[in-house]
Structures are given as C-alpha cells and as structure tokens.
Amino acid sequence: MARYIVATADEIPPGGRKIVEVAGRSIGVFNLGGEFFALRNRCPHQGGPLCEGKTFGLLQARVPGAIEYSRPGEILTCAWHGWEFDIRTGRSWCAPERLRVRRYEVSVEPGDALAAAADAPAPGLVRGPYQAEPRYLVVEIAPERGSNRAASGATSGHGRGGGRRGAFRRRGWSAAPTRPRPTRWRRRAYSSSRSSYGPPR
C-alpha cells in the first residue's frame, strides 16, 4: 500500500478541505473537528466533482415537529445532482447499503518520523526535506481491484477481445449464441359476435 504526504495538519482548518492529485486520482481531504478523512473526488452517479460540493449537517425528526440538527458539516452534497454522502464513511446517505464513494485512510504523522524515513522512503512516499515540528497528513492508497484486467479490456464488453463476444472470438466461433425471443401475442380482433380478444388459434 502506497503512502503519500498531501499537506500539513494546520493547512486544513476544522470544517475545511483540500483537493489534491495523488497517483492519478483526485482526492478531497476533509477536517471534521480535528479528524481527517479522504474521499475520491468523483461522484458514483455521473462522475461529477463530488468533493467540490457543499457540506451540511443532519436533520432528523423522531416525532412530528421536533427537528434535531446534528453532525454539522459531515454530509457532502455533489454539486451536479445533489447526491449526499457521509464524509466519515463514504456511504450514500440515501442508500448506504449499496452505494458509496471510495474512501482512503488518513494518518497524522510528526515531521521527525518522516525525516527519519526520508533516506529510504516507502513506495509512493514523497522524499523530504521535512520539518520536525509540523505534523503531516499521509494518505494511504491501495491498488484498485481489477485495474490490470480492466486496462487490457479483459472484463469489458466494449474493448477489443473483451467480454462474452471476445471469448467466443478467442474460441474460434463466429458469434455468440443468441437467446430465442419469447413469442409475443398480438391482440387480434375477432368477428363482431365475439366480445373478447385472445391469441390466434
């Protein structure tokens, strides 16, 4: 897992954010009351810049008329179509079981520890110089699943040689077999003496 230094801890104030470019990914780093969270700057709906949207709190009403406001600034709203996500978990607020945005681990590390590791940095870690007193934000990024296969078109039906049609081509078959279409009965008017419609006999 690669580690990247993206900012100093005091560079992002509470309630603030910073959008950085790391390993070819646009990532938004948020400060929620001294805790730091990082999300992919891409809305899973239609690819909008999610981390550039506004943040809100949570409105809840246990009984009619009793509205409670909590978690200020922890709900991120996409600027394109208003999809809402929890900054702490990356899950969609409307459908948390099936929809989420990619979340990355963020750690706060002192400068002296990073300076000690500067001679032999881990893969992806930016070489110094680092100051000993400031604290730095380090984002950990793991390789995405299936990135190599997707790049070669092995899992895509649109790429050359990919998908089900590509599998048939590799086996030497001319085309993928097609499923028989179900018979659709058309309504047919019978003689005026019949009052109902039905399939032809």
**Predicted local confidence at residue 137, as pLDDT:** 86
Residues shown for the chain:
201
Q: For 151, list phi and psi in degrees, rounded to 5.
A: -70, -30
Lowest mean pLDDT among 8-22, 39-53, 58-72: 58-72
Residue that wins the pLDDT comparison between 76 and 157: 76
SS3 166: helix
Domain residue limits, the chain: 2-144
Q: Give the mean pLDDT of 124-144.
A: 71
Whose structure tokens read 């899950």?
Answer: 91
d(CA 188, CA 191): 10
Q: Which residues contact 28 (CB under 8 A, 6 or more apart)?
A: 17, 18, 19, 20, 38, 39, 40, 41, 50, 51, 52
What's the pTM?
Answer: 0.62
Q: Give the mean pLDDT of 137-152.
A: 65
What's the CATH fold of domain 2-144?
A: Rieske Iron-sulfur Protein (2.102.10)
Whose structure tokens read 């750690």?
Answer: 107
Residue 154, classified by CB atoms within 10 Å of its CB into exposed (0-12), middle (13-18) or buried (19+), is middle
pLDDT confidence bin for 93, thresholds 50/70/90: confident
d(CA 131, CA 111): 5
Indicate the DSSP class of residue 179.
Answer: P
From residue 82, give the alpha-carbon distance in Å to each of 48, 86, 154, 179, 181.
10, 13, 34, 40, 40
**Predicted local confidence at residue 150, as pLDDT:** 39
Per-residue pLDDT at 8 exceeds 60: yes
Q: For 124, list phi and psi in degrees, rounded to 5.
A: 90, -15
> String of b and e for 158-189 (b: at least 16 CB within 10 Å)?
eeeebbeebeeeeeeeeeeeeeeeeeeeeeee
Strands 103-110 and 55-63: what pairing? unpaired
d(CA 9, CA 1): 22
**Predicted local confidence at residue 119, as pLDDT:** 53
Per-residue pLDDT at 49 exceeds 90: yes
